[in-house]
Amino acid sequence: MTHSCKAPAELTPAVSSGRCKLCHAPPPLHPRSHVIPQWMYEMLPMDSRRMRIASSIEGEWEQRSPTGIYGSFVCKICEARFAEWDDYAASVLRRQPAATPQGLDFGEYDYKKLTLFFLSVLWRAHASEHKFLEGVNLDAREKPLARCLFSDDADDMREFEVIPTWSSGILACGVMTPISVLIESVQYWQLYIPFFQALIKVDLGPGAICLRPFVMGSGKSLCMLEKNFTEFDEINTVRAVVAENLRKKNGKRKA
């Protein structure tokens, strides 16, 4: 059975658990929709190809997965839409960037395609039922973001400002649970994917003034600052995850 894929209704939820969470089409769903595209695993060192997944949820501990975080939450047509943006992001983020005083410069890029990539990863994190992502809840902003993923209007995308960053440090060699943060009283979600991160504004209205120079936009070169993982106390979060990891492992040995 085939079906067409259309933009989601204004505020109408899917009527059954078996429907596509993005377009609400009936089953079948794609069996393995990845939140983080698989090509990102190939960027990791050979001894780290099993994806490190560190949750910020209290009591959870680090796990490793050879296939990453995935689920069955969209139809095959919507998954193909994500795949197009994932492939484009690979073509840009795998470039050899130039070091500049402003950060790493990845050169010219298609604003629409790369923005949709980052926005789709945030939406996928929200839609996934993976336990490491259960804290990602976009609330009333989920529907506008879903509609944005179907839009050809760049103005809709600018409502969700994206500020990408990069890091080659050890904390960047894996995935951390996205977190909601306030910057100048504006709500953002912080994404963590291998070697790259992104702040995404979800509030209506203007974004934080301090971030304006770094927002992705049409006609710009893709320039990223280096993230140091201290802005939102991520280092202490990871330390707590590691401590919990060791505690559970030692407990299993004693048992």
Q: Name the H helices within the chain.
A: 76-93, 111-127, 142-148, 154-158, 234-254
In this predicted structure, what is the pLDDT of residue 82? 94
Cβ atoms of 70 and 32 closer than 8 Å: yes
Task: Give residue 235's Cα distance to chain centre.
Answer: 19
3-state secondary structure of 233: coil
- For the chain, the straight-line distance linking the first and the last C-alpha, in angstroms and rounded, comes to 51
Average pLDDT across the chain, whole number: 81
85 phi/psi in degrees, rounded to 5? -70, -35
Q: Which two tokens stand for residue 140?
A: 């009333």
Q: Give start and end residues of each alpha helix (H) in 25-75.
A: none
pLDDT digits (tens, 9 = 90+) for 131-156: 878 889 999 999 999 999 988 777 78
Position 228 pLDDT exceeds 70: yes
Tell the burial category of 150 from Cβ atoms under 10 Å away from its Cβ (0-12, 13-18, 19+): middle
Residue (of 253, 203, 210) closest to 231 by Cα position: 210
* Whether the Cβ atoms of residue 77 and residue 19 lie closer than 8 Å to each other: no
Most confident residue range from 1-5, 146-150, 239-243, 249-253: 146-150
Cα distance between residue 179 and residue 192, in whole Å:
9
Residue 239, C-beta contacts closer than 8 angstroms, at least 6 positions apart: none
Q: How far apart are CA 51 and CA 174, in angstroms?
A: 6
**Per-residue model confidence as pLDDT tens digits over 2-57:** 334 444 433 333 333 589 999 999 999 998 888 988 787 777 665 444 445 444 44
Residue 133 one-letter amino acid? L
Residue spans of alpha helices (H) in 58-204: 76-93, 111-127, 142-148, 154-158
At position 106, the amino acid (one-letter code) is F
The structure's pTM equals 0.82
